[in-house]
Amino acid sequence: MTFVHPLFLLLAVVVAAAFIAIVAASARRSRGAALTYSDLAFLERSIGRAPPWTAIFAGAWVLALLCAGVALARPGVVATVPVHDAAIVLCIDTSGSMASTDVAPTRSQASRDAALTFINGVPDGTRIGLVAFAAQAFPLGPLSDDREAARDALSRLPEPNGGTAIGDALAEAAHLLPSGGRRAIVLVTDGVNNSGSDPLAVAAEIGAQGITIFTIGIGTNGSGVEIPGTGEDAELDEDALRSIAASGNGTYARVSDADALTRRLATLARATIAERRRLDLTEQFAVAAGVLAFGATLGALALGRFP
């Protein structure tokens, strides 16, 4: 817990200590006066049966004073809270290498299945957009909080073919997103950028706009798997994907099987709609102080135990 004005905490402790001293002095005077009773045995029996109302009410007032001091100090905690109006664009690689079968049944089909899990996993109210990219990038539909519309857009994902334009995909995704609010791009790719804009430069521009970028590399790098029909090895530029994610204050993860990809996207479905925010607790402590003070004062007056 952090405080905007911590000196009020010290002031509250001083005031509470002074109040305790006053109550204790008053109690000592009351006991001294009570000793003048002629029937001391009767007094002891009466005191022994009486609940310690004065101490209870005094304790409530001390807590009220401390709560008031905490409220004046403006307390707060940093917590991860859900964002109900987030906007996310999922960029899915559809280049020729996505037909590789090292991720069963193919990298492309594994991405489709994981994307469906992602769409189903984000909370209601989250707007989702999809971008397909190979040598060119294009949106599969507008940004929408309609889950069925997102699933329909996913069904239009092209079959694997062509090169890999990661920079163009990021730019297209950023174009779909609104100008403010919680915004994120999730990039799923299995290749090295070989077409279109420089992805590192585009990612830096996007990150400067406050958009978070998460990157996922799919495939078994260094396994000797070839891109179908080309004779070329299907490789990942992991350093570039890490740099892209870093530019957008996101994270990079590499997955080598369909289940791992599904789990990663399911995790991001939750992570992309949450943010760390300072929660102000001033009102809660102020209400607690008021309730304690009111209850202790009312009870003390009603029972004639006001110190």
Name the CA dihedral angle for 33, 36, 42, 48, rounded to a multiple of 10 degrees.
30
The larger pLDDT score, comparing residue 279 to residue 133, is at: 133
Sign of CA pseudo-dihedral 185, 236, 265, 195: positive
DSSP, collapsed to helix, strand or coil, labels residue 189 as strand
Residue 233 to residue 231: CA distance in whole angstroms: 7
* Closest residue by Cα to residue 123 from 229, 296, 273: 273
Residue with the larger pLDDT of the pair 275 and 264: 264
What backbone torsions phi and psi does residue 139 show, to the nearest 5 degrees?
Answer: -75, 150
Element at 8 (helix H, strand E):
helix 7-34
Q: Looking at residue 166, what is its pLDDT?
A: 96
Q: Give pLDDT tens digits for 196-210.
A: 999 999 999 999 999
Quickly state the pLDDT bin for 226 (edges 50, 70, 90): low
Q: What percent of the chain has pLDDT over 90?
A: 37
Q: What percent of the chain has pLDDT over 70?
A: 79
Q: How large is the average pLDDT for residues 269-274? A: 67
Return the beta strands (E) in 84-152 as ranges. Answer: 87-93, 127-133, 137-139
Average pLDDT of span 8-14: 85
- 220 pLDDT higher than 60: yes
What pLDDT score does 31 carry? 59
Angle at which helices 258-271 and 107-121 pack, to 10 degrees?
30
Identify the pLDDT of residue 50: 45
Selection from 74-83, 171-180, 292-301 with the highest mean pLDDT:
171-180
Average pLDDT over residues 28-52: 54
pLDDT-derived band at 77 (thresholds 50, 70, 90) equals confident
Region 44-63: mean pLDDT is 66
* Residue 18 neighbours by CB under 8 Å, 6+ apart: none
Mean of the pLDDT values across residues 84-110? 89
Q: What are the tokens at 30?
A: 């009351």
pLDDT digits (tens, 9 = 90+) for 178-193: 998 889 999 999 878 8
What are the structural domains, with CATH classification, of the chain? 2-78+279-303 (no CATH), 84-272 (3.40.50.410)
Under 8 Å CB-to-CB from 250, ≥6 apart: which residues? Answer: 184, 212, 213, 214, 215
> Where residue 81 falls among pLDDT bands split at 50, 70, 90?
low
Which pLDDT score is estimated for 124? 80
**pLDDT, average across residues 95-110:** 88
Mean pLDDT over 68-88 rounds to 80
Q: Is 216 a residue whose pLDDT tops 90?
A: yes
pLDDT at residue 27 in the model:
63
Confidence class for position 123, pLDDT limits 50, 70, 90: confident
Reply yes or no on whether the pLDDT at 230 is more than 80: no
